Structure 1
């Protein structure tokens, strides 16, 4: 498999986070309507997905330019803070203050080669990442954002919804009561990178990009019909697979369902995917999928053997999640970054 980078430029807010398994689902709907996206059609590749994934998508990560170089802002690994930040302070009060500050550093910068070294990586707070986004913005955007009191990289907002009673021609109570749903937007002019592993026998990056273009035009995720989830594509090309001279751990770039008995240790935040069918199945008798417990992006897995690093992805497919469409699969795979984790003995 080959690794590619797809750059997304948000044009609106999002109601659904850009996580790898959801991106995979959107691509599958595109392939269901356009047989030319996959050689032999979607059904052929879904049938063998458990043994041979045709595409593995990462979640979307901020791409930052700093001093002429590009960096990716990834989630800080889900390992104990003591494995990342070495505290030298002896005084108890100052030690807790330092720990509190370190907890706020939720982002980790890695270079364009996706090289990860915990002891030399730069860790950022949300405000620090916003400052880097501000520095790479255009003059007009800088002028606008200078007047903002809060400059978080993610900004949540409430999306208003109304259902009109056709008898009274107004809103009312019960099912006609106005309600809101949460959504979020990125810092202006943010670029997001999605890493995708492709089986060249199944498709190529040009066809995947064409699918992404359509997704961006119609909207990604919840409330796309009201204007959320829209984006356009930037540049993107094949990139080398991340490597390390002596890796012993894997950093997950998307939510994953790890294989059983393959890892000696794991650090992760549990993430439950309460999936729901989209497109025409959204209005079926049973649009809801069975819940899937996953390890969220940023998880760290320590393999038992070196053969894990022979593949550019970890995880497994999840089957039997839908009564409406029995052949439905969930992407439990994820691209990963191999790195060296010092093991405490």
Structure 2
């Protein structure tokens, strides 16, 4: 598959986090809106049989990758770094600069930075609760039950913040240029919850072919989005993951169908590590045949994730000693 990088600049707050699996869902709706339902059905052929037309990562701070799902002591040879009094400080260092990717993984804790480091000691991203009101048209006021005021948590980005999204595209069926246009459409109309009132807007700043990095003699692969590794033959003794349950819901017209919710799915979160390899894509496509949704039987969920290769031999030995 062909590898791309897209850089976006947020223009508003986001009521839905920019995760690879939810972004893929909105991409499908954007494709259907632009080219019709038949075009979407064609692209999804074989999706749950290991043949995705496109796989998307989460959105990361531009120029950074997520820290892997490993204990702190495995990411630093200095025992002082993982002392209890410093643990809170270091656990916030979630982002690895891309230029440090080829450094040994057991030294990454020294290179990782926090969100405030990225933004120059200001908050790179803030979560705020916004109060919404639903007006009863009969009384002209709010009230109880469905008309009671409620809050929605929104993510606000530092002015000038840029985010990188990585994509793998099956160029025999799809193209990076098509994906670029669909991302522009999503950015203009808004991504996720409350897009209709201006949330989730972004501008596409950059699109380019980009080879995802890989360390020499890689033996383990890190997911850049939530993925579904179940039953795919990964070695559990050599893999490290954090469980993540997705309580999904439909978008676009299906969101107001009366049955907007999908069945929950269990995923491995971004930064999870799986062996053996080599692989370009981790995980599998989920859904189809009514397994994911009763309301829309053909619904699928991105259980795939783009992957980067890591050499974890020394890290694995350290974990085994502990």
Same fold by TM (over 0.5)? yes
**What is the CA-CA distance between 1:325 and the residue it aligns to?**
1.3
- Secondary structure of 1:127's match? helix
Query: Residue 116 of structure 1 contacts residue 337 of structure 1 at CA under 8 Å; is this kept in 2?
Result: no
Q: What is residue 282 of structure 1 aligned with on the other side?
A: 255
Comparing both structures, which one devotes a greater share of its residues to helix?
2
Query: Residue 77 of structure 2 contacts residue 106 of structure 2 at CA under 8 Å; is this kept in 1?
Result: no
Q: What is residue 147 of structure 1 aligned with on the other side?
A: none
RMSD (CA atoms) = 2.1
Residues 103-146 of structure 1, C-alpha deviation per residue, up to 9 Å, x if partnerless? 2222222239x646424441112321221xx7xxxxxxxxxxxx
- Secondary structure of 1:184's match? strand
Distance 1:89 1:169, change over 3 A: closer
**What is the CA-CA distance between 1:285 and the residue it aligns to?**
2.8
Q: What is residue 66 of structure 1 aligned with on the other side?
A: none
Which deviates further from its counterpart, 165-174 or 48-57? 165-174
Q: What is residue 22 of structure 1 aligned with on the other side?
A: 22
- Secondary structure of 2:27's match? helix
Q: What is residue 285 of structure 2 aligned with on the other side?
A: 317
- Secondary structure of 2:178's match? helix
Distance 1:277 1:116, change over 3 A: farther
Query: What's the TM-score once normalised by structure 1's chain length?
Result: 0.84
**1:128 is the counterpart of 2:99:** no
Q: What is residue 47 of structure 2 aligned with on the other side?
A: 49
Distance 1:261 1:10, change over 3 A: closer
Q: What is residue 85 of structure 1 aligned with on the other side?
A: 76
Q: What is residue 207 of structure 2 aligned with on the other side?
A: 236
Query: What's the TM-score once normalised by structure 2's chain length?
Result: 0.89
Find 1:103's aligned residue among 82, 91, 104: 91
Residues 13-33 of structure 1, C-alpha deviation per residue, up to 9 Å, x if partnerless? 101011001111111111112
Provide the rounded CA distance (Å) in 1 between the counterparts of 2:99 and 2:140.
Answer: 56
Residues 299-326 of structure 1, C-alpha deviation per residue, up to 9 Å, x if partnerless? 11122xxxx31x4111011112011111
- Secondary structure of 1:234's match? strand
Provide the rounded CA distance (Å) in 2 between the counterparts of 1:188 and 1:240.
Answer: 28
Q: Which runs of 5+ in 2 are unaligned?
A: none
Provide the rounded CA distance (Å) in 1 between the counterparts of 2:252 and 2:138.
Answer: 30
Aligned length: 308
Q: What is residue 140 of structure 1 aligned with on the other side?
A: none
Map of 1:198-277 to 2, 5 A cutoff?
198-264=169-235, 265-277=238-250
Q: Which runs of 5+ in 1 are unaligned?
A: 64-70, 135-150
Distance 1:185 1:125, change over 3 A: same
Which deviates further from its counterpart, 206-215 or 262-271? 262-271
Provide the rounded CA distance (Å) in 1 between the counterparts of 2:275 and 2:156.
Answer: 34
Which deviates further from its counterpart, 171-180 or 78-87? 171-180
Residues 318-345 of structure 1, C-alpha deviation per residue, up to 9 Å, x if partnerless? 1120111111111101001101012225
